[in-house]
Amino acid sequence: MPRIAIIGGSGVYDPEILENVRELFVGTPYGDVRVKVGEYDGEEIVFLARHGEKHNTPPHRVNYRANIWALHELGVERILSTSAVGSLNEAMKPGDFVILDQLMDFTKTRHYTFYDGEESPHDRKFVAHVDFTDPYCPELRKALITSAKELGFNYHPTGTYACMEGPRFETRAEIRALKILGADVVGMTQCPEAALARELEMCYASVAIVTNFAAGMSGEKLTHREVVELMEKKSEEIKYLLMGAIKHIPKERHCACKDALKGATGE
């Protein structure tokens, strides 16, 4: 049973890092999910392409609940994800890695919880209010930081991610506002993905890859093509960073993620 999963974001569509890869379709109350399962250094790993292998699902249409539920069904306890981001922080330059530690949600139309009470399409028909003070697992963050440090990559050990609805890029005014609020990077996929993982008591962490400076900062038109091109250039480094992190993930969990539902349901 795999305990670790990788969710690949823009530009990370194929589990080249794994051996003996097989494809699975996992049925969930929210729809079927296609994943690949392989091995790395004796560890069974699940790989899920967030946008599909051809980037055919935009961020606001990703079935986040199905994805996270499927990983949970497979027995996954730890999730490492990647996300391509624009930088609002001049110190975080294109090509840098950012190990996210905080999150702000500005999405509008997504499904944010598994716990819809009697409307839940599964046996967990209750309401839950999980603590989300620190949205990213400290143990997984430490593993990513250790890996980046050992590899000598340009990385930032903290960063606040602002999640926007998309699929369009942001306006100049939106970027100014996000900077005032304290965001370092901006993207379109961390919400509700991170929160849903917490609701199922799964550990979750994400490494953001800066692909460009955000609207109004670079003076150039923003394009998805430049995002993909930079991610392709960074693909080998992303692979080494994730695999290095997996080696540093403790076998047993000692973080608070595993107890997220304690006291959250009012029962």
Q: Share the mean pLDDT of the chain.
A: 91
pTM higher than 0.75, yes or no?
Answer: yes
Q: Is the pLDDT of residue 63 over 70?
A: yes
DSSP per position, 138-155: HHHHHHHHHHHHHHT--E
- Give the pLDDT mean for 70-82: 97
Above 80 in pLDDT, residue 11?
no
CA 116 to chain CA centroid, Å, is 23
What average pLDDT score do residues 1-15 get? 76
CA distances from 104 to 66, 107, 150, 176, 214 (A): 22, 9, 29, 15, 16
Kindly list the structural domains of the chain, giving each domain's residue range(s) and its CATH number in brackets, ordered by start: 4-259 (3.40.50.1580)
Mean pLDDT computed over 16-41: 90
**Segment 160-169 mean pLDDT:** 95
Q: Is the model's pLDDT at 86 over the cut of 80?
A: yes
* Pairing of β 97-99 and β 155-156: parallel
pLDDT band at 15 (very low <50, low <70, confident <90, very high): low
